[in-house]
Structure 1
């Protein structure tokens, strides 16, 4: 148990380190001065995100397994100190896992906001008088709106700008998917707690049932003991009566013999 819990914690530290690297890489993406450099950074970022996704799912499953093992262990088979240690370790791992999720979600929300702001600025370059509602509608799905191709202005080459828009939009969708996965993982951890409570309630009910059965068994045993005591008394009385009867018979025989 202890060995596995420490291994899980090491993986959680790796996850936090990955999240920090993702944040750093995304900061560099935002200020990249060339497409080649930006594409290279995005590729690096995506690789770290994929590895982190797999590690998060694996760690979640391992924490769940550890927690279920802890629930199934017999309370009488370990000391109170060991019982408390196991409980504290599982709680600590779950809290650290949630911290990873919250930290990751926070930096992705910030990055997604930055990307949307860049798209908004690009839109305003073409349409300086655009209203906020119009920009919001565009940000929902910019690839379906060829605003740059239809623009009467020639400040930026339409093809290059549209390519840039597509890239930003793809990046935003990827971040939205990541955030959705983080929310799902968080909900699974919360559900895990609820299932744990149900298991504990079930165990408590079973213990109460056993206690009732045990109490009934004790009562029945006491009744049997009373019956056994009564039976033993009856046996002694029968034996005593038999001895007295034999004594009387012997006495009668002696008296008859003497009279003759």
Structure 2
């Protein structure tokens, strides 16, 4: 499923963040061209929506330990590509709004038609971004719980505060505890912990960026009202 989503994004994203950088053309296209772009953006929003659903499923499997290292790499790639896609959508709707603002001075009726479409696009992008943000927050909580359980295997006498501190630190102390234990499969346990800690860092970065995207989207929505 995730492999297909990666292909979908690569083929279906009509305009990337890289293409948008430095290209804020505020001259309004014709109404036909405008609606063509609206339809392309709707397709890309739907693509992002499907990606978020795939990510949620992969994170769910990871939270119960049913994923593999290759799955985690694929999840990271899909997450990064989906973030790029949402950034691109934000930049495209921003450009569209600027074009409409300029058009409103000479063609107010045309501009209002465009604003109606922009409002729908803004809300749709915001919804997908919010769902992605929530999915990452949920995964973060689940992965922390999983690391906490692993720590208790190594330190069954640890207090709740000690477990929470070990999970939040994300440093070498947790790894040293595993190596110092007399449990079997130490190396496997160590690799599992390192992998989960890396995932938590990636998720934290995603949550921070998605929060900024949500803030940007809300500002644009407020400005349209």
Interval containing the TM-score (normalised by the shorter chain): 0.7 to 0.9
Quick one: which of 130, 137, 142 aligns to 1:102? Answer: 130
Q: TM-score, normalised by structure 2?
A: 0.77
Tell me how far apart the structure 1 counterparts of residues 77 and 200 of structure 2 sit (CA, whole Å): 16
Aligned to 2:87: 57
Q: CA deviation at 1:71?
A: 0.9
1:29-75 Cα offsets, whole Å, 9 max, x none, are: 34455xxx611211221221122121111111000001111111135
Larger RCO (CA under 8 A, 6+ residues apart):
2
Residue in structure 2 matched with residue 21 of structure 1 by the alignment? 54
Which structure is higher in helix share?
1
Equivalent positions of 1:1-260 (< 5 A) are: 1-32=34-65, 38-77=68-107, 79=109, 82-145=110-173, 146-151=176-181, 154-193=182-221, 196=223
For 1:164 and 1:115, locate their aligned partners in 2 and report how far apart those are by CA, in whole Å.
11
**Cα drift, residue 85 of structure 1:** 2.4
Q: Distance in 1 between matches of 2:54 and 2:104?
A: 43
For 1:174-217, what per-residue CA distance to the aligned partner results, in whole angstroms no more than 9, with x for missing partners?
111111110111122234456x47xx9xxxxxxxxxxxxxxxxx
Contact 1:120 1:139 in 2 (8 A): yes
8 Å CA contact retained: 1:143, 1:166: no
| Distance across 1 between alignment mates of 2:108 and 2:179 | 72
Aligned alpha-carbon RMSD (Å): 2.1
Q: Larger C-alpha radius of gyration, 1 or 2? A: 1
5+ residue gaps, structure 1, are 201-260
Structure 1 length-normalised TM: 0.67
Query: d(CA) in 2 for partners of 1:142 and 1:73?
Result: 52
The whole-number CA distance in structure 1 between the counterparts of 2:57 and 2:63 is: 10
How many pairs were matched up? Answer: 190
Tell me by how many angstroms 1:129 deviates.
2.0
Deviations 1:92-145 (A, max 9, x none): 111111101110011111111111111100111122221111111101123321
SS in 1 for 2:68: helix
Q: Name the structure 2 match of 1:247.
A: none
Question: Are residues 16 and 38 of structure 1, via their aligned partners in 2, closer, same or farther at CA, if it must alter by over 3 Å?
Answer: same
